[in-house]
């Protein structure tokens, strides 16, 4: 365990061994290390006779002192980011969009930082960036992952590099978060989704100790999008609320950007299972967009679609269908048959038909949507995977369990690769496949997936989220079929109390 906490770093392990030999036992060292990590790694008195065992931080400082200012700055930047998955792409994208910032002082600070790394006028020099990196790599302070084209820093180096910072850490976090946000686009291609997913850990680490009010409005909205797409609903909500309130204050209640913020918050509420809150906001946004933009504007139609989705989750299927039919007809007329929003309307209407038991109508729509999304958006786009998942549910409801399983396995594998193991869509795929296994009589497979799913839903969505409770219910049912009645009862008692 002690070696794991030193992240298998040979120099730190050697120093630990010398200290234990002279001063303490392994358990005592571990306790002291957890309390006094910085002192252990920088105190030159804690060492053995071998020069190699000299204080870890002192050894790194010798290398650090030889770096040029740009390399030093990049190392400090990395101490704010997550220690893995650091890409040149992030800095390049930010350099090309820094003019989007409305805060001129913040723009100047970010530009100054990016100039040290490769920004030149309105362009980017990859050659300059690689020269900065070369200095760090020559001193073994950073490593390159050729497969993913990203850089990483050993966790101990990552921690130590924060001690070299020549400015306030809070200010540095704000600047780095701004760079992350500037690199985010509001387009929704498959590549955009994949890129935004790589930013989640960096956003989490850079946000540490920052409040939503500390962040530039544009950046808060884009970081909120990262959180939303990865299912970090509480974090997304905090930023959505801050953006909405600020836009109301600066732009007014009826400004298009304010309405967009309200719509985003409503979607976040819906994904949290807070359907009354989602409905209340969605109704306001729809009425205002009708008045400001007109009945047929794409944003108005999006509001109608979102409200219909909320009605569907509330079980108000006739209200949902009535809105969805209107939205689909108007989107076909305004946007065309193959537009992603039109296809989304077809998928939503199919979902309502499924809840109404109209399985033939569902399948007919879903087959069309899936084929068009494959052609328009690609095989691995989240929307395409959602269509495959929906068609699998239809096959399941029709009793075509083998067809459902084949699609579900494919969707789960692709979602794990594209969206990550803990994404809500991935968890939904696990849930669907577990139910299919259950109905096929493959109870051991159903249990294995069900246990993993419940752990992840608790961690990602919380103990009281409706999806977590459904996962508990399904796992209890599997235990019951396996004659593990005590395990089933334990879950069902908890489930009953929570649902009350």
How many domains, in total, are found in the chain? 3
* pLDDT value, residue 46: 42
85 falls within a domain? yes
pLDDT 10s per residue in the chain (500 long)? 455 554 444 444 444 444 444 444 555 545 544 554 445 445 444 444 444 434 556 667 777 888 999 999 999 999 999 999 999 999 999 999 999 998 999 999 999 999 999 998 889 999 999 999 998 988 888 889 988 899 999 887 888 888 888 778 899 999 999 999 999 988 888 789 889 989 999 999 999 889 998 899 999 999 999 999 888 899 999 999 999 999 999 999 999 999 999 999 999 999 988 999 999 999 999 999 999 999 999 999 999 999 999 999 999 999 999 999 999 999 999 999 999 999 999 999 999 999 999 999 999 999 999 999 999 999 999 999 999 999 999 999 999 999 999 999 999 999 998 888 988 899 999 999 999 999 999 999 999 999 999 999 998 878 888 889 999 999 999 999 999 999 999 999 999 999 88
Are 28 and 153 part of one and the same domain? no
Residues 104 and 57 in one domain: no
User: Of the candidates 218, 246, 271, which is a domain's last residue?
Assistant: 218
Q: What's residue 245's pLDDT?
A: 96
On whether both 33 and 126 belong to a single domain, the answer is no
* Within-domain flag for 239: no
0.85 exceeded by the pTM? no
Spatial CB neighbours of 10, under 8 Å, sequence gap ≥ 6: none
Residue with tokens 């969805």: 324
Spatial CA neighbour of 259 closest among 212, 216, 306, 226: 306
> Which of 199, 218, 237 is at the close of a domain?
218
pLDDT of residue 8: 45
- In angstroms, the first-to-last Cα distance of the chain is 42
Query: Which residue shows structure tokens 């906490």?
Result: 5
Query: Can you give the residue range of the structural domain that contains 415?
Result: 410-500
pLDDT in the model for residue 44: 46
One domain, residues 70 and 187? yes
Q: Identify the bridge partners of residue 123 per DSSP, sorted by sequence position.
A: 120
Residue 93 and residue 33 share a domain: no
CA 182 from chain center: how many Å?
A: 17
CATH number at residue 488: 1.25.40.10
Whether residues 58 and 72 share a domain: the answer is: no
The last residue of a domain, from among 21, 40, 62: 62
**166 and 97 fall within a common domain:** yes
């Amino acid at each position: 365990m002690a070696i794991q906490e030193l992240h298998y770093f040979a120099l730190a392990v050697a120093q630990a061994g010398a200290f234990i030999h002279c001063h303490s036992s392994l358990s005592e060292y571990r306790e002291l290390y957890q309390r006094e990590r910085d002192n252990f790694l920088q105190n030159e008195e804690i060492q053995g006779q071998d020069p190699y065992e000299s204080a870890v931080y002192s050894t790194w400082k010798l290398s650090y002192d030889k770096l040029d200012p740009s390399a030093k700055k990049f190392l400090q930047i990395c101490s704010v980011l997550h220690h893995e998955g650091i890409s040149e792409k992030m800095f390049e994208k930010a350099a090309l969009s820094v003019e989007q910032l409305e805060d001129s002082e913040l723009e100047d600070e970010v530009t100054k930082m990016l100039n040290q790394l490769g920004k030149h006028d309105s362009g980017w020099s990859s050659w300059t960036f690689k020269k900065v990196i070369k200095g760090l790599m020559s001193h073994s302070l950073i490593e390159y992952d050729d497969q993913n084209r990203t850089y990483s820093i050993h966790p101990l180096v990552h921690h130590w590099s924060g001690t070299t910072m020549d400015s306030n850490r809070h200010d540095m976090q704000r600047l780095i978060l701004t760079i992350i946000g500037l690199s985010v686009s509001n387009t929704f291609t498959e590549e955009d989704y994949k890129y935004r997913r790589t930013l989640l850990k960096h956003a989490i680490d850079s946000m540490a100790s920052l409040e939503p009010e500390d962040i530039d409005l544009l950046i808060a909205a884009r970081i909120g999008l990262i959180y939303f797409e990865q299912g970090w609903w509480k974090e997304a909500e905090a930023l959505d609320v801050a953006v909405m309130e600020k836009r109301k204050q600066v732009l007014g209640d009826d400004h298009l950007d304010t309405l967009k913020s309200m719509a985003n918050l409503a979607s976040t509420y819906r994904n949290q299972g807070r359907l009354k809150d989602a409905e209340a906001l969605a109704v306001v946004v729809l009425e205002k967009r009708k008045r400001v933009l007109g009945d047929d504007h794409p944003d108005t139609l999006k509001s109608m679609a979102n409200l219909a989705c909320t009605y569907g989750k509330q079980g108000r299927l006739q209200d949902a269908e009535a809105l969805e039919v209107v939205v689909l007809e108007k989107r076909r007329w305004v946007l065309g048959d193959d537009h992603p929003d039109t296809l989304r309307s077809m998928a939503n209407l199919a979902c309502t038909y499924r809840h109404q038991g109209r399985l033939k109508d569902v399948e007919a729509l879903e087959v069309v949507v899936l084929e068009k999304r494959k052609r328009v958006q690609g095989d691995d786009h989240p929307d395409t995977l959602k269509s495959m998942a929906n068609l699998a549910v239809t096959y399941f409801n029709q009793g075509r369990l083998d067809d459902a399983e084949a699609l579900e396995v494919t969707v789960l594998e692709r979602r794990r690769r594209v969206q990550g193991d803990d994404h809500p869509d991935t968890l939904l795929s696990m849930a669907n496949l577990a139910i299919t296994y259950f109905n096929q009589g493959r109870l051991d497979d159903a249990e294995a997936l069900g246990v993993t799913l419940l752990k992840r839903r608790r961690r990602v969505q919380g103990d009281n989220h409706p999806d977590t409770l459904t996962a508990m219910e399904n796992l209890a049912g599997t235990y019951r079929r396996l004659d593990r009645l005590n395990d089933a009862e334990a879950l069902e008692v908890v489930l009953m109390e929570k649902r009350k």
